[in-house]
Structures are given as structure tokens and as C-alpha cells.
Structure 1
Amino acid sequence: MFRRFLTTARQRGATLLRQCDDWWRGLSPSRQDRFAALAPLAAVLLFMAAIVAAFWYLRTEEAEREHEALRRDVEYAQQRVRLRLLERQEQVMRMARDLSNQDLAEDAFGQRAEALVNQYPELQAITWVDEYGRTKASQAAPSLPAELTRLRGEVLQGDETAQTFDLVREQQQPVYAQQTVKASQPVPLLQLQVPLNVQGRFNGVLLAEYSVDSLMRYGTPTEVLARYAITFLDANAQVLAGTPLAPRTRALPWGSMGVHDANAYEVSISPVGDRLVLRAQAYRTSLGVVGSGLFWLVVTLSAITVWMLLATWRHTRRRMQTQLALVAETNFRRAMENSVLTGMRALDLHGRITYVNAAFCQMTGWSEEELVGQFPPYAYWPESDYEHLQGHLQDELSGKTMPGGIQVRVRRKNGALFDARLYVSPLIDAVGKQTGWMTSMTDITEPNRIREQLTASHERFTIVLEALDASVSVAPLGSHELLFANKLYRQWFGSQTAGHLQLVAQAGVLPVSSASSAEDEDGLMGLPTDSVTSAHTENAEIYLPDLGKWLEVRSRYLSWVDGRLAQMVIATDITPRRLAEEQAARQTERAQSVSRLITMGEMASSVAHELNQPLTAINNYCNGCISRLRNGQLSEEALLTALEKTAHQAQRAGQIIQRIRAFVKKSEPNRQLADVAKMVAEAVELADIELRRHNVRLTHHVAARLPPVMADAILIEQVLINLMKNSAESIAQADRPPSGRSVELRVVPKTIEGQAVVEFAVQDTGQGLAEETRERLFEAFFSTKQEGMGMGLNLCRSIVESHQGRMQAQNLYNGSEVTGCLFSFWLPLAAPPSDTTNTVANTHPPRTIA
């Protein structure tokens, strides 16, 4: 039977082991690692729980044993005290019986009471009290305080003593009484009243008073006093004798019982009853401290072990995550290397091949087994290039790598050669130490062939253009990039786009502003409206002071190879022809008077330049209408729009002629109240001709609600036109880019030297004034240019000063660099302005003329 039981148990154990093994093998590696890390933690926790349970059990057993021992000792002490009280009670009752039988006289009572008091230290006094409560005789111990001694004839005092006396009278039985402890009573006493019965009649009591402290000291066994703190308590739990242990201010060690349950026990002392209670408190031993220390040591060690296991588990988990990430990263990089077409090769510090990818093997034709481990010369090196490739390899191993890579020839296994470009970078291991060099190889045979073909085609194209005797340049609109320039252009302007833009700006054949929006496109011609109204229909002739040449400029739109809209400018040198024309013009000009020549020359130049634009626009609109009418594509609405634009351009041409005639025919000064805003607007309209010729943008700001000034409007317009014209020429001489060619006219009220004036300021972005020029700027017949209006800054200052104004000029700086010049003059107001507090803030919106 037993063997069958063993066999069954073995079979069940084996089955359980197989099931556990199958369950373990079915877990994933990560879950196995997790259970393997949690198993020691669970074991430590179980061990700590077992230690805690053992400590709890031992401390409970120890507390129970201590409590049982305390109970036995207290009961033993209670029996000893009870026996001592009963002995004293028997002696007192014997004396009371002798007094009742009148066998004991008063003198003999004193001797006998004295003997008892001297023999037994707990007895403090024996008093004979009659039936009226008066003291007949009393014998007290010497240690009893005088205030507690009873005198002969003294009536019993105290409520409790009198109540006990009455109780003894009624019951005719001995009665113990414990007086309530008072502050005035220095020694607590226990009273025993034994009745005196003479022939069946109550004849008083025999009062015996005990010292509770002496009773405890002599009645309690010595061994009990040595082990415990013994105290006697009354019915109200007040201490009558002994010193109780101080209450513990901190909690007991874990596992111990409470103060009153573990180390204290109390019991009533018969025959006194609950009026006298014996209480014992066990002294605290070091066993609890030692046990608690061992307990906390075990708990601390267990906690440290748990913490170390958790840290180990966390570290293991991080390592597993790092390994998984490393495996994923390795697989990703391997897949990426196998998918790219770039060959990868790794060399150690001695030049031995340690790694090649699939693309490198496909390029060269050799397998990985054949290439890995080779030393130079490698199998894919052409024999004729050994020395050249060996030199490159030495540079590579010494760290002399080129950022742009090197181009070499590579031999395939079948003997074919191809061009390749190699890029080299250092190979660094995980600790930051270089272990070799990584090289990437790209097949550039086809790109080299295409590049050679493009080079040959480009050479054929450039040979033709380089042989031209005209400057040819191509640049995209709105950009400073130079797409093409032939030899003559580079000789004249260098390889920058500044020459191209200068030709476009001075010739005025095409606008140099930013590309126009779709709203500005003209529907009749398909070109921007601004281009139609500002470009010439024939070749433009310009003069370049830097070259000292007259050029004939032709331009056209074209679409560049990348799809961008570009313009090609062809400039031909016509200096000999222009010199002949200028010489004839100079001879004609000498025959005229200086003043008439200047006025008519300015008028003719203004009319020719300004009227050419609206007339050109009118011509283009008419040609567009004719073309679309012939094709039958012109609707009535489109024809009406074109005629309205043509009429607008014709009206503009008439306004220009009227403005110039009014400007020229004025001869005698005529000062009158002049509107500043109107005067500035007319001057801006006339000066705009010259500024557009120099491709200069004009911005003017006029303060709102300016009062009129007493001035000759034509003369002030001449001053403004001259200043703006000089600014445009200064910008042209400074060769500023189109974005930096601007002139700003600002008219604002000011208070100068306590006088309300209107300040006119013209600010440009030109080359500024030289030191020697600034000193002679306003001198008569002084000029820094060969031709001009003939008026000069001296005449401008004279006009301003004749209007009680002042003129000044200063350079503008950006650090130490001159960024332009500022000419300003002011004129006094004709009348005090009504409100000048906010006139500067309420200015007209700025207008920009390009």
C-alpha cells in the first residue's frame, strides 16, 4: 500500500514537473527573463515575511510568559500582605475582646498597644474610642506626625472616619477604611475599626491605623520588590505608596504589547477590598531592545536585498531593451546596405579589407570571400594604376582624405574598366577608438560620358559667341545672377551681373523692377503693361563713363533652360559715331545763349523722354487692336478698353506738354500764397522723368494740413527738381543695385529758432559728398559734372535765401561707410498754423515712383 502511494506520488510529481517545463518553454525569452528576475525577489519577500512572523511569535510568547510571571508574583505578594493584615487584625481583635470583657485596664492598654506599635512597623497608632466617638486612650508610633496623633477626649474627626464608626456600630463587625488622600495629609493611613461589645451593648471601637508605605515595604516579599515597581493604590487609582514607573514617551518595539497589558498587573488586597489595590510594573529589560535590533537588522538586510534585486532586474531589462534595439538597428543597417547601389569597403589600419557589401561585390565582380582579407594591391586595381592607387591608399591610411573624394579607375573581374569616385571616412568603434577606414564607391562612368558631351557642345556654342564684336549677357528677371556672358562683356564689366543691370537701367529698354502681377498684364499684347509703357520700340544708345564708350543696346525676352524668364542684352560699341554726333551738337550749342540753351535743352530732353512712353503705348495699343480685328478676336468690350487706355495715354502726353510749357514760360519772380502739396506734386511729376531715366525710385511724404507759404512756386519747383535730379545722378555714379536706388522727399512742419517753418528734405542713396566738394558746394560756377541744368546749387541757395530760408547738405553714414546724402532747406510759413501738434503724425501715405 505504501509502495503504491509512493509510486502514485512520483508519477504525479513527474507529471507536474513536465507541465512546468512545458509552460516554461512556451514563454517568450523576455517573459522568461522577467520571471527569472522576479523569482529571487519573491523568495526574499517570503523570507522576510517568515522572519517577521517568527519575531512576532517569539515576542508574543515572551510577552505572555512575562505577564504570567508578573501575575504569579503579584498574587504571591498579595497573599503575603493579606496574611500580614490578618495577623495584625487578629491581634487587634484580641485586644478589643479583652477590653470588652474588661480584662484590660487603661494602663495595661497603653503598655500592650505600645508593645504592638513598636513590634510591627506598619502599625502607626492604636486608639480606644468610646461609644460617643471620644478618644479614651491612644498609643502612636514615634514616626507618626504630630498632627495625626489623637488626644484623650478628642472626638473622631473626618467624614470617612465618622462614617466608618457609624457603620461599625450598625454592623457590629470589624471594618477597614482608607481615607482619601489629601494634600494636607502627609502620610496616607489605613484604618481598622473593631467594635467593643459589653454585654451585648455597643461600647465603642478599637481603632488601629496602618502606614500603607510600611505595609508595602515590610509586607511585600523582597524578591518581588527587586523585580517590579510595587505601588499601593486606593479606590480612585491614587498612589498611596511606592513610586510608579514613568510613562513611556515612545512606542515600544514592534511586536510588543501595550504598557498596561505587558508590564503591569494589579489586584485588590483582602480583607480591605478594592479600597487598597496592589499594583506591580515590570522593569524593562534589554531583551526587547536586543530582539528589536535583530529584527530591524533582518528587515534592513532584506530591504537592501530586495532593492538590489530590483536594481538588477531593471538593469537586465534595460540591457535586453538595448540588445533588441541593437539587433533592430543592425538588421535595418544591413537591409539598407544591401539595398543601396553604393559600394562599401572597410579597411583596418594596415590596409587589409575587413568588409565589403553586396553592391561593392556587384560592381567589381568579385565575391565577399575573395575580397575580405586582401592586402594591397587589391584584385580590382588595374595593373597600370598600381603606383597611382598605392599613393592614394597611403594618403588614405595616413588620414589625408579629400572632402570631395577621389576619382579612380576600377577593374572588374572580367577585365572591364569603369570610373569610380571614392569617399573615405574614419571608422570609430564603440569606445571612440579608430579601428580603420570606411570607403564608399560610386560608378561615375555614365555621368562622365554625359559631362564630356555637354562640354563639347558648350565649347561649340561659346566659340561662336566669344568671337562676336558685341557684348552678350543673359540674366533672369528680378535676380542678380548672371546666366551667360561672352568674352567682350567680361572685358568690359567682369563676371558680375552689375554691367548687365547697368545696361538695362540706362537703356530703359526693359523694366528693372520686380516681376509684375497678373493684374498688370495687358490682354492685347500678352506682356506686362508697365513694360509696354516704359520700354522703347527701337534700339537704345547709352554712354558708360567707366568705359568711356557709347553703346547701342538691344534686348529681348527668352525662356532659359530651367524655365525661368530671362532677358538677353546685346551691346555694340558705337563710340566713333557718337563722337561725331556730339561734336556737331557742341558746335550748334555754342551758337546759342547759355540760358536759352539750358532751358530749351531741358525742355527738349523732358519732352522727348516723357512723351516717348505714352506715344509708344498708343502705338502698341493701336497695333494690338488692328491685329485682333484682322483675326476677328476683338470684342466690343475689349475694343472699348483699348480705346480708353489709348485716350488716357494721349491725355497724359498733353498734360506733360502743358506742364513743361508752364514751367518754361515763367520769367519774372512772382511771390504769392502757394499750396505746398500742389507745388511738391508738380515738381515730383517733372523730376520723375529724370529719375526714371536713371532707374531711381522716388518716395515722397507730405504732412497733412500744411498752411500755405509765401513763395514763387516755379522757383521752388526748380530747386526741388534740381536736388532730385542731382540725387539721381549721384546714385547713377555710385553704381548702386536696383534695390538700393531710391530718393526720398519729405516735407514736414518744424520750429527752428522759435520760427514755424516748412522743411523740404531730399535724401538719396548715392556716393555722398567728398570733403573738398563739400567746402565749395555752393560756390558760383562750381560743378562736379560736365553737363547739367546750368542752374547750379549756388542759384538754388540764392532762391531759398531770397525766400528768407536756409539750405544745407550733409552725408549719411552707416558706421564709417557713406550711404548717401541729405539736402534740406526750409521756408517760413505765410501765417501761424492753427494746429501743429499732430501734423507730423497725420501725413499722406507714401508714394513710390520707380
Structure 2
Amino acid sequence: MVQPHSTDAERAPLRWWRAPRLWWRQWWDRLPPHRQDRLAVLGPVLSVLLFLTAIFSALGYFSQQEADREQEAVVRDTEYAQQRLRLRLLERQEKLMRMARDIANRSIEETEFVFQAEELVAQNPDVLAVHWIGPYREVVTGYTAPGAPAHAHRRAGETLPPNTTGGAFDLARDLHQPIYSRPLPWPDGGSTLMVLIPFEDQRRFGGAVMAEYDIAGLLRYGVPAEVLARYAVTLVGEDGTLYAGTPLKPLTTPLSRLPWAPRPQRHELPVSPIGNSLLIRAEGLRADRDWGSEALFWIVGAMSVATIWMLLGNMRHTRRRLQAQRALVAETNFRRAMENSMLTGMRALDMEGRITYVNRAFCDMTGWSEEELIGASAPFPYWPEHEHDTLMARLQDEIAGRNTPGGFEVPVKRKNGSIFYARMYVSPLIDAQGRQTGWMTSMTDITEPKRIREELSASYDRFATVLDSLDEAISVAPLHSHELLFANRMYRNWFGEGSAGHERMLELCASVPVLPPQDHHDQVDSLMGLPADALVEAVAEHAQILVPELGKWLEVRTRYLTWVDGRLVQMLIATDITARHQAEEQAALQAERAETASRLITMGEMASSVAHELNQPLTAISNYASGMISRLQKGHISPQDLLGALEKTARQAQRAGQIIQRIRAFVKKSEPNPTLSDVAQMVSNATELADIELRRHMVRLNTYVAARLPRLMVDPILIEQVLINLLKNGGESIQQAQRPPGQRHIELQVVPRTVDGRPGVEFTVRDSGGGIPQERLDRIYEAFYSTKSEGMGIGLKLCRSIIESHHGRLVARNLYNGDAIVGCEFSFWIPEPPPEASAPLAPRSTETQTTPEGT
């Protein structure tokens, strides 16, 4: 097929594109070879210059952008840290202001102030001390942290020098508002900050609550950890004085002087509410650029471009060499970074004991540089002078291969002269051919673990000393085991070293719950599924036991604990209560004697009334007997009349016998015997005896007993004694008040009543006497105190003791008609027994009334 010919219009663009190319080739061909070589070299140079110009421009631009972003981040984080410090200071200030208000309101004493100050210091490590300062700078009381410097400890009564607070005390006194002092330097290094909260005493300056802050502690605990991790944060004064923190050191490398070199970003703000006297400053922890890697990258890039331009034939070889070089650099950097990131110090020795290698961690620990250590031989510069002989012997054992698998502990001297303790582990150093070329030693700083171990040991010694000084015997043992985990000195004095005493006390404590024993052949824990937390948190059980081997009464308290190894153990605390037990027995005996004596005294006081009451049936018996004898002698009596007279004589004799039986039962000495007693029967027995005395005083007794009252678990004789005493006192009060016949009455009311959710029975005795003077109302229950001239002062005290022994309460109050006292009311309440001890309800009773004329 014949191709069509192209036109001149179609060939015009092709000629325009080929024309410059042809012209360039012709010009290049006309040049001599040396000019061509120069131009060939000039081309790569220009390319490299242009490439470097672009790289530096981009580097400067992006460095400026990154610096702006870092500056914004520094400002933002500095403001955040300043707000956190402000909130922390305001929170502590609020607590101190509450303490100052309590002092001003006199609602806090020195002991409570010390307790609150100790709690505040314990919760805030940056608070060194809290003191109560008087209006004349005298220290009233306070608390100082145990780890505070010596100058922060102040004794009560000590007067603060005027320059102690830097004028803050005077400002607080004059302005009557919280004042922060300027940062004050410590005599032994460091600085402190004081805040004074003034308070008033009767509208006058009464002193101030002074708290002392450790400025370094404010930085450590007040600034967020994430801010401290990203920046070098310091607290400085307005004049630039450094109070806390470590500032960044300026870069001194040659590259740091370049315009685009990274500059640490910084920002500072005043710490509110302290003011401009304390500033928080943050400097960015920006790492230096790896200028060597970047320069290497630029050189390699430029060489690659130039090589591609000039040596296209060697491109593959150059590429392989570049890849190998990069891999080698990456491997070297990786190994170096791994060595430098280790916290364990590494040291290598040759076979003669010379140092051949140390890593960065080893240099950081000792403070000596790599140049100072490599090549050094014993004695090494980090050896303490007084330990040269010991460490030399240790080095000889190390070179000879006599090493301890668990390592060994050695003291190490830093370059600044300070000493720390480290643990070293030694292993052989084998080269690629399998030959030993030296020894590799790893070193770990154990100063802090050793300090903690020593503090734990000292804490245990203090704990054991305190427990050994107690008067109680304390023992801890696992459940159902003969192992004794802990025993103090009192336990060992009483029971010896073994667990026999612990088991003996558990055997005697019948009320203490014991968990079931574990079957040793069963692989399942017997306590599996039980709420062990509830056992550990349960309130301790109490029991009182007699140990015949010791001849002592012991009060044993027990509870379950989770031991340090996770086992559930039982702790027993035994207290010698022999003296208290004997005193309680003696007190019970004295109380029983006092109750019997009180009943005898009551019957003694009622002797004339009882004699008069007995005289009536005895007189009637005598009259009936005389009449029957006279009529029998005359023969004027029939059998029916004789039978009627004998029946009347028998009734009078029975009445006299009942009176004597009631009196004998009332005054009979017996042990307290709580039984389920009928309330109506107790009231009837008491009123039968008390009414004899009341009729002698011409006093009317009105008794009301509610229907269907429950039986009470009481000693009926003691309750009757209380009722008789209260009724008798009411009659005597009416007699002393000389009330007219229409107003000589006493009301006894017995009704059910619920107190604090517990049902019970309330007994109320109201009289119309002269009452009790208001100033004596609070003393009527005191022993040997009486409002009557002939009273002994033991009646009401015994009544109250009897009611409280029955878990009840006795209350007295005056009855008023306007401002005049028209009588007195005594009421006591006794709770109802539990349902399992209840008896059938008492039969329905009716209201009865007795008069002086008869019953």
C-alpha cells in the first residue's frame, strides 16, 4: 500500500523540535575535548549546587515550621502545667483556710489540729510542715514531715524570727487574707515557699496557719508527668534565680551555630496565686539532628546523581555499593543505639585486666567518660580509695574465673566523689573464632533497692519492738496447722515458743467460730467458693476464758487475716483481765448486797405501817375468839353462828399470813433470777405492800394496767423493789408538800410502748407532791445524794442500776401547772424478750382504785 505524503504544515512542528537539538549537537561537536571535559564536570557541579540549594532551602523552611509548632506546644503545655500548679496550690489553700476557720470558731483543739496537719502532710509530699502560729509569731503547735530538713522542725512555744517568712506574716496580719511568701533559700541547699492563712479571734488578729512547701516537691508532684517527660521544666524567680529543676545546657557543637540548627523552645509564666516571685519555665527537649547522616545522605545523593549523569555504565556497581553502605550504617547505628539504650552498665576487660570497652550506661553511672576509662588498669578510677585491697582481690578472682553465679555487690565511686552500690555479673568474652579474649561485666545500680531493703528491715524491727512491748499476747497461725507464724514476747512468756498456747486458747474459746479442717487427701481447697474477703474484713470476735495453767482470766479477740504468702490465717490477741474479772465479781456481790439492804431499809421505814396493817386482822381474830369463848361459856351460841365466826377468824389469819409472806419474799436475799414474769402479778405484789405505807400517809393509789401485756424476761423481786421505792417516794413527797386530802393521790400506769423500734412495757408513777428542784434533777441518781433530810441516797441509784441491768431506762421529770410544780413523774421502760422466749399473753386486767378507808 502506498503511504500518503505528509504535507509541509504537518512537518513544521517536527522541524521546530529538532532544530535546537541539532544546533546543540553541532555546537558540542565543535568544542575541543578539554572543553567538553570541563563542561561535563561543570554540569554535575551545577546540579549538585542546585540540589544542595533546594535541600537547604527546604530544610530551613521545614525547620522553621517545626520550630513554630514546637513553640506553640511549649506555650500550651506551659499554660497547662501552670494551671495544674495553681489548682494544686488553691486546693491546699482551701484545706488550710478550713483549718483556720475551725481555729477561729474554737471548734478545733491543738490535738485535732496536729492530726489534721499530719493527714495533710501525709497526703501531699510537697508540703513539709503545717503550723499554728500565734498573733505574736509564737508556734502554738504543728506537724512536720519526718523527711523534712532540720530547719523546718519547730517546737511549740518557739517564736519565729522576723525574717523566717520574708515579711509574709506581717502582710497576712495587715491584709487579713492568705499571703504567699517569696521563695526562701534553705541553709543547706534548696528552697521553700510559705503560705500564711490569717484568722481572727474576737475581731482581732488571732494568728495564722502556716504551711511550708518544698519548691522542688511542687515541681515534682505539681507538674504533670507528661509535661516533665517532654520538656525541661524549672521553677525560677523573677530575676532568673533557679529554685527547682534542671535547665537545658546550650549546644556547643559547630553545627549548632548554623542558622537552621534546632533551637530549644522555651516559655515561662508566673505561678498563680504566688505571683511574679515564682515563674514556671519549660524548655523543649529537642534532640540534635543527625547532621552526619543527613550530610552522608546528601553526598551519596549528589554522587549518585553525578555518577548516573557521567558514569551510566557503572550505575549497577554504584547502587550495590550504596546499598551495602546503608545496610552497614543501619546495623552499626542499631547496635550502638541498643547499647546506649540499656540501663545496665557494660564493661569489657582483656585477659590482663585492662578495660577495653564501656557503654554509655556505665559512663552515666560512674560519671567517667569513655576516653578516661578505656585502657585503664587496676586500680580503676571508680574504685573507692578505702576499698582498693578488697576490690583488687575481687578482680583477681574475676580474671581467674572464680565468679559467683549470682553476682557480687561492690561500692562504686562516681567522679564527683559520691558512692553508690552496684551488683556485678561476670561472664567470659568469646570472639568469633571461639577463643576467650577477656571478661564481660554487667553492672546494675542497687542503691535504691538496698535502701528499700534496709528500710523494710528497720520497719520490721520497729514493728516487732512495738508488738513485744504490748501487754497483750499476740499470735498468728494458719488454720488447722501446728505452725506458729508470729508470736510476741508476752505470748512467749505465757505459752512458750510453740503453737500449743494458740491451740489451747482456741480450744477454750467456745464462742469463736473455727473454719472446717482441710482434707489433706483432697486436692480441692475446703474454702473454695467462700467469701474470703468477708472473713478478712469481719469484726473481731471476743471471748473471755479461764486458763487454768496460768491461773488467769483472758479476753481473747480473734480475726482472720490474709498472710504475706496469701494464706488465710487466724490472729489471736489475749489480754489479761483477771483483775477486772475479780472486780466485776466483787461489784456484782456488792450490788446484790445493796439491793437486799435497800429492801430491808424500805421495810424498816414501813415497819409502823406494816405493824398497823397486821394489827387489824390480829385484833379481829382476838375479838372473834373472845366472843366465841364468852358465848360458849354461857351456852348461847349455835353451831351455825360458831361456824360463821370461825370462817371470819380464818380469813383474818390468812390475810395476816399473806402480808407476812409478801414481806418475807420481798426482803429475802437471793441471786438475780430473770424469768418470764407476768406484769400484772408484779404490779399487784408491789401495790399490796406499798399501799400499806400510802394509807398511813392518807394517799390514794390509782392503778391502771393495760390489757394483754407481754411477759417480760426480768427478776420480779427487783422490779417490785423499783415500784415500791417509787411509790413510797411519791407518798413521802406528798406528805412533805402537805397537800390537802383532795390532792393526795398517786397514779401507777402500765402500758405497752415501742422505743427505737423495739417493743416493751412502760411503767409510769405520777404523784402530786412538791416535785424535785430543777437544780437537783441531774443529781438524783448519784450515790449517797438525797433530796430528803433523812434519806440515804441509795434508793434511786439502785433503781436505775436495776432497770439498766434489764436493758431498760429510767427517766424523771417534774409536772407543771404554768410555772408551778404540781408533782413528779418517774417512768421506766423494759424491752420485750425475743419471740423464742415469749410466753402466752397475760389475762385482761381491769382498772382498780384503793382509798385510805380500805381496799
TM value normalised by structure 2: 0.31
- Which has the greater radius of gyration? 1
TM value normalised by structure 1: 0.31
